[in-house]
């Protein structure tokens, strides 16, 4: 297949797992003989830390609006950005002539690009692994401005003036101004059934979409199932309220002398919140240390620990952290929020507890600490499942087949 990948960021410029997964699957498809071209933004090109790589299959010409430090533009400048991005997409389609367009994260990109793909009629597949449809689609400044029923008098007058002058008619031929409700997602897949449900609950017609879970790179995240008693406990993630780190600290506070190990926290966050966490841990004399690591260092971090606490309290689309830990052989205690309920099975491949329930988490920690057979069995089962179901190859197989089916749909 000839596949045009459309995404907001592409490594080495990225902010999280979405972009890394996009690159990993894109490169895997290239390695299978597909001809792939990536159309992404120019974000980060001026960063001397990451000199422009030699990548003839990647075009970094799109422009980001309002995200990742890029400014929110006044309307006239936004119009030029919208036209620029849509013309770049049209040029890529005309030159590359893809069999299918594989759309990834659209945060900060013109949602009018989705309408352009519809107008042209090229087969399009959306990969959805965060909340950009259910949250940021309705917030698209360009589409909202043209279609809002209220707004300031100046805004209404300018919209009327541009309509009279034919500006809207011209834009509709290049950078469509249709309302968001006109965007159709004929072919798409989500990283979890729960994310699909949440999107549908916002009124989007997406329940026909598929579910293809996130993969983990088992070539790097690997190690035998842990059999040693848990002394070095691990917590990994963004240090924020919705990640449940405070619940973990409260659980340790409840355990007091019964907890026989140390909790090593790897992550960063807002200074005010992080300082509060550190003060809580210090005031309670908790055995907690604070660290950070690069993505390349994380496989060794997992292998140096005995168990993972995954305490997320928000609707995670499908978290990579427990997958990486399980691939490295760690037993996991986690919540069932969001897509995690499609991974964890209590007492079989993990121990689970109710999000925010510090007392219940403390009980699970003691159980994992004291029951050797249970600890070893869930570590072994989690390790087996991740390597069988969530490794790169079976996930890329599913993505590849979904793209093929979309070309012929």
Give the tens place of pLDDT for each residue, 24-33: 999 999 999 9
State residue 15's pLDDT score.
81
Q: How many domains does the chain have?
A: 2
For residue 298, being part of any structural domain is answered with: yes
State whether residue 379 is helix, strand or coil.
helix
**Is the pLDDT reported for residue 134 higher than 60?**
yes
For residue 256, being part of any structural domain is answered with: yes
For residue 220, being part of any structural domain is answered with: no
For residue 221, being part of any structural domain is answered with: no
**Is the pLDDT reported for residue 47 higher than 70?**
no
Give CA separation, 283 vs 6, 62, 86, 201, in Å. 49, 49, 55, 43
pTM of the model: 0.90
Candidates 111, 115, 101; CA nearest to 132 is 111
First to last CA, the chain: 14
Candidates 276, 282, 188; CA nearest to 239 is 276
Task: State mean pLDDT over 156-177.
Answer: 93
Same domain, 162 and 301: no
Name the band, by pLDDT with cuts 50, 70 and 90, for residue 50: low
The CATH code of the domain that includes 122 is 3.40.50.2000
**What domain range is 306 assigned to?**
232-390
For residue 222, being part of any structural domain is answered with: no
Task: State mean pLDDT over 89-107.
Answer: 96
For residue 225, being part of any structural domain is answered with: no
Task: State mean pLDDT over 50-74.
Answer: 86
**Is the pLDDT reported for residue 133 higher than 80?**
yes
Mean model confidence pLDDT for the chain: 94
**Is the pLDDT reported for residue 42 higher than 80?**
yes
State residue 52's pLDDT score.
56
For residue 224, being part of any structural domain is answered with: no
Same domain, 6 and 67: yes
Same domain, 186 and 249: no
Q: Considering the chain, what percentage of its residues have pLDDT values greater than 90?
A: 86
**Is the pLDDT reported for residue 155 higher than 90?**
no
Lowest mean pLDDT among 34-48, 206-220, 255-269, 375-389: 34-48
Q: Is 65 in contact with 108 (CB distance < 8 Å)?
A: yes
**Is the pLDDT reported for residue 295 higher than 90?**
no
Same domain, 315 and 363: yes
Same domain, 291 and 328: yes
Which tokens is 114 given? 């989705």
Residues in contact with 113: Cβ distance below 8 Å, sequence separation at least 6, in sequence order: 6, 85, 86, 89, 106
């Amino acid at each position: 297949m000839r596949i045009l990948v459309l995404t907001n960021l592409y490594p080495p410029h990225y902010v999280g797992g979405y972009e890394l997964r996009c690159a990993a699957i894109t490169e895997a498809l290239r390695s299978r003989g597909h001809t792939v071209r990536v159309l992404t933004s120019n974000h980060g090109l001026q960063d001397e830390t990451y000199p422009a790589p030699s990548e003839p299959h990647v075009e970094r010409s799109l422009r980001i609006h309002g995200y990742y430090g890029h400014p929110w533009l006044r309307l006239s400048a936004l119009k030029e950005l919208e036209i620029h991005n849509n013309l770049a997409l049209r040029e890529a389609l005309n030159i590359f002539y893809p069999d299918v367009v594989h759309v990834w994260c659209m945060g900060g990109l013109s949602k009018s690009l989705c309408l352009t793909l519809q107008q042209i009629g090229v087969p399009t597949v959306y990969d959805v692994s965060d909340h950009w449809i259910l949250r940021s689609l309705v917030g698209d400044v360009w589409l909202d401005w043209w279609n809002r029923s209220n707004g300031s008098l100046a805004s209404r007058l300018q919209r009327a003036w541009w309509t009279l002058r034919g500006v809207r008619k011209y834009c509709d031929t290049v950078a469509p101004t249709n309302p968001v409700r006109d965007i159709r997602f004929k072919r798409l897949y989500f990283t979890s059934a729960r994310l699909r449900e949440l999107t549908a609950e916002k009124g989007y017609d997406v329940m026909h979409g598929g579910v293809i879970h996130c993969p983990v790179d088992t070539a790097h995240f690997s190690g035998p199932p842990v059999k040693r008693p848990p002394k070095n406990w691990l917590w990994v993630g963004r240090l924020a309220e919705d990640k449940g780190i405070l619940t973990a600290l409260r659980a340790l506070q409840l355990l007091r002398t019964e907890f026989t190990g140390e909790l090593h926290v790897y992550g960063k966050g807002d200074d005010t919140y992080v300082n509060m966490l550190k003060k809580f841990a210090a005031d309670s004399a908790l055995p907690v240390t604070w660290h950070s690591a690069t993505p390349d260092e994380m496989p060794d971090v997992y292998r140096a620990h005995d168990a993972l606490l995954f305490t997320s309290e928000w609707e995670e689309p499908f978290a990579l952290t427990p997958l990486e830990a399980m691939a490295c052989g760690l037993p996991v205690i986690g919540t069932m929020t969001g897509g995690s309920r499609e991974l964890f099975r209590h007492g079989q491949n993990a121990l689970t507890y109710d999000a925010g329930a510090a007392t219940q988490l403390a009980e699970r920690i003691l159980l994992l600490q004291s029951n050797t057979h249970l600890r070893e069995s869930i570590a072994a089962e989690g390790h087996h499942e991740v390597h069988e179901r969530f490794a790169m190859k079976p996930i890329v197989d599913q993505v590849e087949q979904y793209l093929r089916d979309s070309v012929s749909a």
